[in-house]
Structures are given as structure tokens and as C-alpha cells.
Amino acid sequence: MLDLSKKTVKKESYKESHWLKELRKKYLSGQSIIFILHSNVLDLVQYEDTYITLKDFLLNELLTKNKDISIYFDESEGLVFGLPEMRKKFISSINVRKAISGESLISDPISQSTSQTMALFERVMEVPNQSTGIILGYSETIVQSAEKMNYLTSTERANIITVQRWANDPQMLNSDNLVIMISETLSDINSKLVKNPQICSIEIPMPDYEERLDFIKYTINKFPNVEFDLTIEQLANLTAGLRKIQIQGIFREASKIGEKISYQQLNERKKVIIETECFDLVEVIETKHDLSSIGGMDYIKDYLNKVLKNIKSNNHSKVPMGMFFVGPMGTGKTYVAEAFAGESGMTCLKLKNFVNSLVGATESNLEKIFSIVKALGYVLIIMDEVDRALGDNKSESDGGTSSRVYAKIKAFMSDTTNRGKILWVMMSNRPDKLDIDLKRSGRFDSKIPFFYPQNQPEVENLIKSLLKKNNINYEITDFEKISNLLINFSGADIEAIILSASNNAYDKEKNILNDEEFLFAIEDFIPNRDSSMIEFMELLAVFECSSRSMLPEKYKDITNQELNEKIRNLKLINGLS
């Protein structure tokens, strides 16, 4: 039996989860009688040789076997008692208290409103020498989060005050009662309760490798007709970031349609699950190119290869917390980030539509995303155009939501326990719009500048790389002449010229691109750019750069005074604030 009684503490042979051990320890030590369980609360829980829902585990296995009365309550299902006789004891206990105070007795607690039900719970917990266990399911609907208390209805405020009173009542703290509140995201619970020192918040994490392995072994026996071409250890690895109930769903689906679970099928299913769980704010990226496909940029590739070496050798202390790619548009920042991701072996997540979703994305959404990120194990998070997503973080027009979301991102990024396991790569051509606190060391240990190709060899390498990337056959005799014409063109512009030249050759029914079509495409191309703005973005990249060795020769000896003066002048020229 799972013992959770203050009257008699028994030695338990059952192997408990970490969160349950924490709850038991804090409860039996008298630290609190009210607990908020959050995060992976909708998953299955292992109990002995089977798996059951968290609700069933808490009600039927934890509370009913340890308390005189055990109750589950949510606004949809109402009151559910651990045993039928507990219902009678519940009504009897309330009526005893009511009789003492001269109030009218009740016969059926089901018809009560939520606030009235909370008051009944309090009456039951006041009965001497009686232990009561209460589970509040979907507790965010009972004690809602709100910016200000006056935004809530009188009933909602009453519920919050009731729980606060339970938490702060010395007599209640010394009782053998236990209240467990369940919410998927902690930020959906009213902050007055979350911050109350007498209320303990405990995270139920996503299943780790060992938990997934044990569950897969259990699930295989439940679906004996399902075939798979992976070992169970590989299945456990590949299902990182998924709940046990989602893993079970993959087996159930395969069983119904008679499909074998393969590496590709599992990855595709996992991609859909994660993106859906993250409210489509996250895209799982799978890249087929690596750093060898990048032309030029030797200083960048050398540094990234060192990072890759430390990642693959699990030398976590040598891996940066984050890398900041800065430079003008069209310099290949996103392509390089995805190439790095493809070679790192890490799960790559791209925060997408972040600009449009920031105001609508609640803290609870972000909390859930971070929970999944931590569960995935080794993760690379890419955020493009970060100046647009996080640059205007001081606005209070959304009630402060964006500021709090921004603060949560910064806190998560600077958590040193994630070093080597969660790596942020952010990109921007306007790093001046970002808070200096976001860009500091400890969040971004490396700030890598990106520039347009600076000389003929760099341009030639880039051209050859882009020709290979686009599968274009060519016979070019004078790469030097062509490359010299494209110095200081962006990578995006050069690719556009290459594609235009290839189309010209195709129109002439030629299968091979030669010098003539290439030179014509260069002459015909009109770059759509503002030279003063490009120079401004280049200087910002120089300003942010964390290593002088990564700078082109023309910038290596520039002084801070010269750099700041040039940036100020270009700001004025471009009419920037």
C-alpha cells in the first residue's frame, strides 16, 4: 500500500517517481498540506505492474488507501468519491458541523456551486480526528490566473481566498488533510497561490529514457501484433519529448492499420505531435545539408566544427549556451544554422510565426513548450529575425504579457543546467534593437558576424557551392572574372543570378551553364538594396562580434570610437532611431 498518513508512517517497497517522493517528503514533514502538480499531468502513471491516469492513481491508490475520505472534483465531472461509503461520511461530517452552528443540513452535495463545494470541503477538513484527501482537477478553472483580482468574478475571488485560508491556517497545517491541485501549466494558476510559501508546486516531468523504455516494454505486450524495425532502445531514444500516452497512441494506430513502426514513420508522427503540442509556434526542422555544403565562411565553419566536436564528445562545459548570428540580410545566417543543426545530431526546433504570435502566446503556452524542449534531450532552438520577435519587449499594451514572456525566455536561456543539451541559435540583422541583457555572455557566449563575400576566392567558393546546391551543370572557364564582378554581393543575390543564368541556358535549350549566360545574368541583375543600410548592418555585426579573428581585414583594426561614430552617422543617414 502507498502510505501517506501522518499518523502511521510505513516503510514502502513501491518504487516511487521523484515527484511523488517530493510530495510525500514535504507533506509528512509538515511543510504543506496543499500541493500543485503541474506539467505532464495528462500522462499515464506507473503503479506496480500497470499504468493508470494521474487522477486514478491519486484518488484510488494514494488517497483512498490513506484517508478517511477521498474526493476528486472538477467543474465538469463534479464530485467523485474514492468509495461509495465515503460519500455518506462526507455528508455526515458536514451536517455535524452545520448542526453545531445551527445551519440547515444538506442531503446532496452534487447540486452545489463550485464556491459552495469549496466551503463544504473546508467543513469536512475541520472535523477532528478525521483525514480528508481532496483532488482539484483542472484547478486553473477554479483558481484562475488574472492580472488583478478585480478582473475576477466574486465567485472566482472567493475560491482563491478559500485556498489561501487553508494554506495559512495553523490548525489546518497540523491536520492530516491533503489537498492536491492539478493543472497542466503553473502560470494558469492564480499567482497569489503559486507564490504562497505554504503551497508547494511540484512538476511532473515528461518521461525520461528509462521511463520510456519501461513503458515500451509494457506496451509491446499489449499490442503483440505490432511490428517494428527498431530495437526497443532505439524506440526509447526516438520517442524523447513524447508522453507515455502518446507513445501508446503510436502503437495503437499501428495495430489498427497494420503498419510497421519504422524510423521514418516514427519521426513523422513525432514531428506532428510536437508541433501540435507546441501550438504550431514550433517547427521541427530536418536538414539534409551540413557545413561541407557551405562555400567560403572558413572562420565560421572552423568555430562551428569545434562546437560540434564538443557536443559529440559530451564535453558540455565547452559548448556555448547560445550563438548569436549577426549580419546583413542575405549573408546565409539561416542556411548555416540549419547546416549546423543537420550535422549536430540534435533535434532542431525553429520558433516560427513568433512575431505575430507573441501577444497571443500566453505564458502557459511557453511553459508547455519549454517542458517539451527539456524532455527532448539534446535540442537546437533556432529563432530567426529575433529583433522582431523580442525587440519590442517593453510594451505594456497587452497587459504586460509580452514582457513576462520575454522574461521567461531570458530565464530559460540562462539556465546553466541546460548547457550542452539545449543550444540557442538566434539571428538578426538589427541587433541594436535588442536589450543588452539578452545578448550578454551566459546567454550568448558566441556572437558570430556574417558578411558578404569580401574577395574573389570567397565569391568563387560560394558560387561553386550554390551551383552544387541547385544541381546545376556548368562549364565555366573564367571563375576569376565572374567572381570579381560579384564581390560584396549578398549570397541571396548571387543565388538569384545563378538561377537566372540557368534559366537563360534552359531557354536556349542548353543543359550546361557557361560563362556567356552567367555574365549576361550579372549584367542584367539589379540588386535591390540600400548600400548605406547594408553598411550600417555590417558595422552592427562588427560591434556585436565576440572574436576579432572572425572580422574581415578591413575591420580588424577599427577602434571602438571609430566604430561608434560610423554607426551614429549611418543611423542619421538612414533615419533610424
Cell representation of residue 274: 510536437
Where in the chain are the domains?
Answer: 18-204, 212-277, 303-449, 452-577
CATH class for the region spanning 18-204: alpha beta
CB 69 within 8 A of CB 178: no
Distance CA 281, CA 285 (A): 13
Write out the DSSP string of 545-557. -S-GGGS-HHHHT
Residue 356, pLDDT score:
46
Residue 393, pLDDT score:
52
Cell representation of residue 445: 557566449
Residue 132, pLDDT score:
96
Residue 238, pLDDT score:
92
Q: Buried (b) or exposed (e) across 21-60, using 16+ Cβ within 10 A?
A: eebbeebeeeebbbbbbbbbbebbbbbeeebeebbebbbb
Of 334, 349, 186, the C-alpha closest to 277 is 349
* Fold agreement between 18-204 and 303-449: yes
Backbone angles phi, psi at 340, to 5 degrees: -60, -45
Strand 322-326 relative to strand 178-183: parallel, antiparallel, unpaired?
Answer: unpaired
Distance CA 38, CA 263 (A): 31
Task: Tell how far CA 560 is from the center of its chain.
Answer: 37
Please identify every stretch of the chain with a pLDDT value under 50, giving residue numbers as ranges: 1, 8-14, 355-356, 358-360
Distance CA 471, CA 498 (A): 11
Give the up-direction half-sphere exposure of residue 517: CA atoms within 13 A in the CB hemisphere.
23
CB 295 within 8 A of CB 463: yes
Distance CA 206, CA 39 (A): 8
Residue 1, pLDDT score:
43
Distance CA 142, CA 59 (A): 19
Long-range Cβ pairs for the range 392-395 (8 Å, 24+): 392/433, 393/435
Instruction: Confirm or reject CATH 3.40.50.720 for domain 452-577, answering yes or no.
Output: no
CB 84 within 8 A of CB 70: no
Instruction: Specify the pTM.
Output: 0.83
**CATH number belonging to the domain at 303-449, selected among 3.30.1240.10, 3.40.50.300, 3.30.420.40, 3.40.720.10:** 3.40.50.300
Of 212, 216, 348, the C-alpha closest to 275 is 348
Distance CA 32, CA 143 (A): 18
Of 232, 244, 301, 294, the C-alpha closest to 273 is 244
Compute the chain's Rg from CA coordinates. Answer: 30
pLDDT in tens, 173-221: 889 999 999 999 998 899 999 999 999 999 999 999 999 999 999 999 9
Q: CB neighbours (10 Å) of residue 495?
A: 21
pLDDT in tens, 321-377: 999 999 998 898 999 999 999 898 889 999 876 544 544 456 778 888 898 999 898
Q: Distance from first CA to last CA of the chain, Å, rounded?
A: 67
Q: Which class for 221: exposed (0-12), middle (13-18), buried (19 or more C-beta within 10 A)?
A: exposed
Cell representation of residue 495: 543565388
